Amino acid sequence: MSIKDLLTEDMKQAMKDKESGKLRLSVIRMARANIKNIEIDEKRELNDDEVLAVLMKEVKMRQDSLEEFTKAGREELVEQAKQEIAILRKYLPEQLSDEELKALVVEAVAETGAAGPKDMGKVMAALMPKTKGRADGKRINTMVRELLK
């Protein structure tokens, strides 16, 4: 089952759940609307990798909002953003642990023969396809920087 089909099925279930599924329903509808808007703009169906990218972007936006809400002391919005992130993560692949990510970074450094910070672009280019959807780019970037010091 594709991610889009899963979103549709979960949306139907959230509608049936009435009260308990309101937040889930709104998050899924918003995600589906963003996917549909991109499909309309590009005049084609998105594949699972592209849908995954849209969902990752949604999670990233909420994480950025979460930081701002925390700084502003808006606890009710912090809690809502956390719940929305949890709902969206259900559709993303399992995130890499720090150990797994570090192993991939070490492997990419060895593959590219990177010697210092100036080779960071080569390492990132080799690493990003392997971590697609399973780790945040900022987290990957930080780990690569630490290893290339």
Question: What domains, with CATH codes, occur in the chain?
Answer: 3-89 (1.10.1510.10), 98-147 (1.10.10.410)
How does pLDDT run across 38-94, given as a tens digit for each residue? 999 999 999 998 999 899 999 999 999 999 999 999 999 999 999 999 999 999 988
The reported pLDDT for the residue numbered 49 is: 87
pLDDT at 6 (0 to 100): 94
- Position 63 scores a pLDDT of 92
Calculate the average pLDDT of the chain. 91
* Residue 53 CA from chain centroid, whole number: 7
Among candidate residues 14, 136, 33, 140, the one with its CA nearest the CA of residue 85:
136
CA 147/CA 140 separation, integer angstroms:
11
Q: Alpha carbon 35 to chain centroid distance?
A: 14
Q: What is the pLDDT of residue 133?
A: 79
Res 9: pLDDT? 95
Asked if residue 35 lies in contact with residue 51, where contact means CB atoms within 8 angstroms, the answer is yes
pLDDT in tens, 11-51: 999 998 877 768 999 999 999 999 999 999 999 999 998 99
Are 140 and 100 spatial neighbours (Cβ–Cβ below 8 Å)? no
- Give the type of residue at 66: L
Tokens of 132: 């697609």
The predicted model scores a pTM of 0.79
Task: Encode pLDDT of 126-148 as tens digits.
Answer: 998 888 878 888 889 999 998 88
